[in-house]
Amino acid sequence: MSFAAVLERLRKVENPYPGMRPFETEEAHLYYGRDPQIAELLRRLERHRFLAIVGVSGSGKSSLVLAGLIPALTRRAPWRIIRMRPQADPYSELSSAASLDPATLRASSFGLINALAEISVPVLLIVDQFEEIFRYQDYRGLSSEQKSNQAALSADFVQLLLSTSAESRNISVVITMRSDYLGACAEFRALPEAINGAQYLVPRLTREQLTEAIKGPLGTVPIAPALAQQLLNDLGDDPGRLPLLQHALMRTWNRWKQDDPNGSRPIDLSDYQNIGRIEGALDQHADELLQGLPEDLARIVFQRLTARSSDQRERRDPAAVAELSELCQSSQLNEVLDRFRLGQATFLTPRDADLTPDTYIDITHESLIWNWTKLKQ
């Protein structure tokens, strides 16, 4: 390949860092630093059909499952993967994710086993962000009776998961959950025992593993050693700052490509400093996205999408587009949502889907709530 061809190929290389969102399964080739953890998950899944992957917010639970466990599992043998989040109605979410009849799922705690009785390959059900199952306590505008009904719905769904993993030989269940919700598991019969029997606490990455996560996705693109060291030093020891690291890396790459589109020099410290480093990259990026938008409208949207739980934990609070539209009363709502969710603006989900009144909008990660100065204020 000629030098000119190499340069042309480099120009077309896409940003290898996901920003605030988790790595997806098709991005497994960009996912580095977790080989020992992936191997351990595979071993545990061989012994247990229920596995709880637990860690602090931002420790990389979703990425570990989506870009680590699933590709490693499917390389060994064919699996049917069902991925869902509980949100407000876990049965509806499971029905949609698996293309199954919701009535069959709700019929009994063996509803999923019955619905998948004819499946010949093993099934892995992933319930990501399982802590959403507890959020009925904090739903806005619900009466006591409605909260009681929601609690019963959540309890039934938990029993569906436990019965499925206990009684089926063909279906395994993996949940990811923030560790600060472990105590809430006592609300549901047999759930603490199941988690105690098969819990995997996501470990903090070593400095060597973090270096691999920084350099590995770049392939042959060079990075200045001083930048790699500065990133590690700025990251510190907090295991919940991985989304901030990935976001800073994404922004640093973009700055490098903008300044040196031919890729004639390594990604260096000046690129990183210009995006505000780890501490300021998110703030700078979010403020840039806000420019040109009606700030009052954006404030309504983001205030609605954030909340505090009953014990004052900051959390995301998804809302349907229809509700946001009623709150905002503005034709520019979709413009605000698109600005923060499309392309490399990885602050809102869903990222690529067309928006309908029933689409639920969510903040990608709590790091935005904790680190965007305008939102905190």
Residue 363: name the closest of 322, 304, 323, 312 by CA.
304
User: Model confidence over 105-132: pLDDT tens digits?
Assistant: 999 999 999 999 999 999 999 999 999 9
- Helix, strand, or coil here: 340? helix
- Could you tell me which residues are beta bridge partners of residue 306? 316
**Which of the pair, 89 or 160, is modelled with greater confidence?**
160
Q: Which residues are CB-neighbours of 133 under 8 A, at least 6 positions away? A: 86, 90, 154, 157, 158
Residue 267: name the closest of 278, 279, 252, 282 by CA.
252
CA pair distance 79, 70, nearest whole angstrom: 9
Distances (CA, A) of 366 to 20, 224, 308, 328: 10, 30, 11, 23
Report the run of H or E that residue 330 belongs to, with start and end.
Answer: none
Range of the domain at 95: 34-201
Answer for the pair 170, 116: CB distance below 8 angstroms, yes or no.
yes
- For all residues of the chain together, what is the average pLDDT? 92
pTM of the full predicted structure? 0.91
Would residue 167 count as lying in a domain? yes
Same-domain pairing of 229 and 326: no
Same-domain pairing of 110 and 192: yes
Q: What percentage of the chain has pLDDT greater than the value 90? A: 82
- Name the pLDDT band for 254 (thresholds 50, 70, 90): very high
Q: Give the CATH number for residue 180.
A: 3.40.50.300
Answer for the pair 362, 305: CB distance below 8 angstroms, yes or no.
yes
Same-domain pairing of 275 and 318: no
Pair type for strands 171-178 and 199-201: unpaired
Residue 306 DSSP label: E
Structure tokens, 218: 């770049």
Would residue 100 count as lying in a domain? yes
Structure tokens, 224: 């200045």
- Name the pLDDT band for 229 (thresholds 50, 70, 90): very high
Report the run of H or E that residue 125 belongs to, with start and end.
Answer: strand 123-127
Residue 372: name the closest of 338, 344, 343, 348 by CA.
348
- Name the pLDDT band for 36 (thresholds 50, 70, 90): very high
pLDDT at 139: 62
Same-domain pairing of 211 and 151: no
Q: Which of 153, 184, 201 is the last residue of a domain?
A: 201
- Name the pLDDT band for 13 (thresholds 50, 70, 90): low
Same-domain pairing of 247 and 178: no
Q: What is the arithmetic mean of pLDDT over 169-180? A: 96
Report the run of H or E that residue 175 belongs to, with start and end.
Answer: strand 171-178
Quick check: 183 pLDDT over 90? Answer: yes
Give the type of residue at 29: H
Would residue 185 count as lying in a domain? yes
CA pair distance 293, 286, nearest whole angstrom: 12
**Among all chains, which residue has been given the structure tokens 């390949």?**
1
- Could you tell me which residues are beta bridge partners of residue 51? 174
Q: Give the CATH number for residue 270.
A: 1.10.8
Quick check: 373 pLDDT over 80? Answer: yes
pLDDT at 30: 97
Q: Which of 269, 287, 305 is the last residue of a domain?
A: 287
Q: Give the total number of structural domains in the chain.
A: 3
- Name the pLDDT band for 352 (thresholds 50, 70, 90): confident
Same-domain pairing of 239 and 169: no
Strand arrangement, sheet containing 319-320: 319-320, 360-363, 348-349
Would residue 117 count as lying in a domain? yes
Would residue 123 count as lying in a domain? yes
Same-domain pairing of 82 and 149: yes
Distances (CA, A) of 239 to 35, 57, 58, 234, 281: 17, 9, 7, 13, 18
Same-domain pairing of 194 and 47: yes
Would residue 349 count as lying in a domain? yes
Pair type for strands 50-55 and 171-178: parallel
Same-domain pairing of 211 and 196: no
CA pair distance 161, 174, nearest whole angstrom: 9
Answer for the pair 249, 221: CB distance below 8 angstroms, yes or no.
no
Quick check: 186 pLDDT over 70? Answer: yes
- Could you tell me which residues are beta bridge partners of residue 178? 55
Answer for the pair 287, 314: CB distance below 8 angstroms, yes or no.
no
- Name the pLDDT band for 173 (thresholds 50, 70, 90): very high
Report the run of H or E that residue 279 belongs to, with start and end.
Answer: helix 277-290
Quick check: 12 pLDDT over 60? Answer: no
pLDDT at 144: 80
pLDDT at 11: 47
Would residue 163 count as lying in a domain? yes
Structure tokens, 265: 């020099």
Same-domain pairing of 302 and 280: no
pLDDT at 307: 86
- Alpha helical stretches, state H, 168-276: 191-197, 207-215, 225-235, 242-259, 269-274
CA pair distance 207, 4, nearest whole angstrom: 37
Same-domain pairing of 190 and 321: no
Task: Please state, as a whole number, how many other Cβ atoms lie within 10 Å of the Cβ of residue 75.
Answer: 8
Q: Which of 253, 287, 321 is the last residue of a domain?
A: 287
Same-domain pairing of 176 and 162: yes
Residue 213: name the closest of 230, 201, 224, 228 by CA.
228
